[in-house]
Amino acid sequence: MRKPLVGGLVAAIAAGAALAAVGTVGAQGGDAASLAALVDGTQRQLGRLAAVQVAAESSNLNVVRGVGGLAGVGLGIAVGSVVTYARWGR
Amino acid sequence: MRGATLGVGIVAASILLALVAVGPAAAQTVDPADEAEICPGTSGDSLVVVLPGGTDVRPGDDTTLLPGTEAEIALCSGGEVISTTAWPVDGEVDGVSVGESERFSYPVTVETVEEPTPVEFAPAISQRGDVDTPTVTATPGNVMTVGVDSTTYRVAVAADDRDRLRRANDTYVETLDGMRAAAADLDEDAGRLDPDPDVPDDRRLPQINQTRAVTTNYATIQSLLFSAATSGNTEAVAALDAYERRHDDALGDTRDSLETANRAIERQARSTALGVLGNLLGVALVGAVVGGIGGRVLTDRILSEVEIDRRRSSAVDFRPKHLAVQLGIAAVLVAGAAILVVTQGLLDPLVAVVRAVIGV
């Protein structure tokens, strides 16, 4: 038996679905945007990992050590000289 | 204000969709208890088309139906629904197929038509003589079977939109599944990755970086299914609900995989960066000790000579210029290190190393 309210209820389903759709379109837009941001973030992390791995390659690591050595000796000379000069000045 | 109204609408719609899942729309057979709903405004013998969703199309009304639409026809006589034994359908009706009679109605299904076809019920009910009928037109279109996960839904879609829905659905399913699978693979491999440094960052995850395509195609599917739903196609409502569940599940899985992968990639980059930084700073520390000793020895030698001259003449004193050679050598060494970094293409990698270590 068809209840008197069933017609109205079922008719309201379509309207309800449309309203829900308006809501879910907005929500899904937010979901998709946050997911897109997460994808971008992951891509940047991968880019950083790739760059770090370039520096960690054995041939580049020797250059990195050379850079550290040159800079360390240069800074050491500067600091050692200034400290010694200051001691002579007293 | 509009947001609040929308929120109430969403809540109401959720409840209604839940009711659909229970299935009240399936109970559709007409009986005399419905005559107060079906027959008002009719006079004499009036045929009423009862559409899915409870819409009644009476004489004087005008409706266009897509192929595949399932409805019922009932006859009101003097404002009462009368038994089908009193009005046998004994002829063909263009545009629809008429099923076996129920007690008070006949089920009808709109057939596939090549062009808009008027559906004339009256000639098929010859026993009743003069029967008023609504104006019903069967229009070209098709009922598509849309599969969502393991369930299929019969959805009435106009012919013009059929290919659009099929294409949108195919692309949507392909991209959504591709995103989810690629994110799961990334999650599985994260921590052991060796990404290509020559690939631009925005093209590192082409399989996952498809949210725009997914959103666009999902919006197309929703739009077409809404049209079907508002035309009374209850399976379209169920399909919408299923699509939404699938969409949310897939995006949720993709997000979970990416978040886990992100953390693993970050750990891997930090660990590798710490190794590089250890090498750089370790050698620099040794160099600083050696340089410091060298700077002291050199400065001591220069200032010793100045001290001897100072004893001979009061015009001589310690001046900052006596540091010029040492600081010049230091500047040349530091500049050499900088040049080495730039010429060997290590500027970006070393910046990445520092950022990975401090987590910026």
Q: Which stretches does DSSP call E strand in chain A? A: none
The answer on pLDDT for B13 being more than 70 is no
CA dihedral angle for residue B341, residue B342, residue B346, residue B349, rounded to 10 degrees? 120
Q: Which of A49, A61, A87 to mutate against chain B (most B CBs within 10 Å)?
A: A49
What pLDDT, on a 0 to 100 scale, did the predictor assign at position A30?
Answer: 62
Say if residues B219 and A25 touch (Cβ distance below 8 Å).
yes
* A6 has a pLDDT exceeding 50: no
Token pair in block for residue B299: 């400065």
Q: What confidence category does residue B324 fall into, taking pLDDT thresholds of 50, 70 and 90?
A: very high
Residue B39 is which amino acid? Answer: C
Residues 6+ apart with CB under 8 A from B140: B67, B112, B113, B114, B115, B116, B158, B159
Contacts of B334 (CB under 8 A, 6+ apart): A70, A71, A74, A75
Q: How confident is the model at residue A29 (pLDDT cuts 50, 70, 90)?
A: low
User: pLDDT tens digit string along B209-244?
Assistant: 999 999 999 999 999 999 888 877 788 899 999 999
Q: From the CB of residue A75, how many other CB atoms can be counted at a distance below 10 Å?
A: 20
Residue B53 pLDDT: 63
**Chain A residues near residue B300 by CB distance under 8 angstroms:** 84, 88
Among the listed residues B347, B197, B340, B205, the one whose alpha carbon sits nearest the alpha carbon of residue B269: B197
Burial grade of B160 (CB within 10 A; 0-12, 13-18, 19 or more): exposed
Give the Å distances, CA to CA, from B118 to B88, B94, B350.
Answer: 21, 7, 76
> Which among A53, A57, A81, A82 is the top mutation candidate for probing chain B, defined by the most B β-carbons within 10 Å of its own β-carbon?
A81
Q: What are phi and psi of B344, to 5 degrees?
A: -90, 5
CB pairs under 8 A between A and B: 354
Q: Which residue, among B73, B108, B75, has the nearest Cα to B94 in the 3D structure? A: B108
The count of residues in chain B is 360
pLDDT of amino acid A9: 43
CA B81, chain centre distance (Å): 48
Contacts of B308 (CB under 8 A, 6+ apart): none
Are A72 and B284 an interchain contact pair (Cβ–Cβ within 8 Å)? yes
Q: What is the pLDDT of residue B28?
A: 56
**Contact B222/A65, CB-based, under 8 Å?**
no
Task: Give residue B129's pLDDT band: very low, low, confident or very high (50, 70, 90).
Answer: confident
Residues 6+ apart with CB under 8 A from B217: B168, B169, B171, B172, B175
Q: Tokens 């209820």 label which residue? A: A9
Strongest mean pLDDT among A70-79, B86-95, B137-146: A70-79
Integer-rounded Cα radius of gyration of chain A: 34
Measure the CA–CA gap between B106 and A49, rounded to whole angstroms.
69
Give the single-character DSSP code of B147. E
Q: Say which amino acid occupies B291.
A: G
Token pair for B196: 């290509």
Separation CA B72–CA B102 (nearest Å): 10
Nearest neighbour of B54 by CB, restricted to A8, A47, A51? A8
User: What is the per-residue pLDDT for B41?
Assistant: 85
> Rounded distance, CA B100 to CA B269, Å?
71
Residue B239 distance to chain A (closest CA, Å): 11
Nearest CA-CA partner of B185 in B205, B212, B170, B203: B205
pLDDT digits (tens, 9 = 90+) for B303-313: 999 889 888 88
Residue whose structure tokens are 């006589």: B77
Do the chains contact at B341 and A21, CB–CB below 8 Å? no
ipTM: 0.70
Q: Which of B17-31, B180-194, B220-234 has the highest mean pLDDT?
A: B180-194
In sequence order, what are the residues at sequence separation of 6 or more whose Cβ sits closer than 8 angstroms to the Cβ of residue A85? B299, B303, B318, B320, B322, B323
Which residue is listed with tokens 């060494």? B333
Q: Is B354 on the interface with A (CB under 8 A)?
A: no
Yes or no, beta carbons of A76 and B30 under 8 Å apart: no
B303 vs A39: CB contact, 8 Å cut-off? Answer: no
Q: Across residues B115-123, what is the average pLDDT?
A: 92
Does residue A21 or residue B51 have the better pLDDT? B51
What does the alpha-carbon distance between residue B70 and residue A61 come to, in Å, rounded to a whole number?
Answer: 74
Band of pLDDT at residue B70, cut at 50, 70 and 90: confident
Cβ–Cβ below 8 Å for A80 and B295? yes
Rounded CA-CA distance B182/B184 in Å is 5
Nearest to A84 among B287, B295, B355 (CB): B295
pLDDT in tens, B74-86: 999 988 999 999 9
B140 interface with A at CB cutoff 8 Å: no
Confidence of residue B23 (pLDDT cuts 50, 70, 90): very low
| pLDDT at site B148 | 84
pLDDT band (50, 70, 90) for residue B15: very low
Q: What is the pTM of this model?
A: 0.63
Over range B107-112, report the average pLDDT: 89
pLDDT tops 80 at residue A7: no
Contact status, residue A40 vs residue B251, Cβ threshold 8 Å: no
Q: What percent of chain B has pLDDT over 70?
A: 91
Contacts of B329 (CB under 8 A, 6+ apart): A74, A77
**Using CA of residue A80, residue A82, residue A83, residue A87, what is the dihedral sign?**
positive
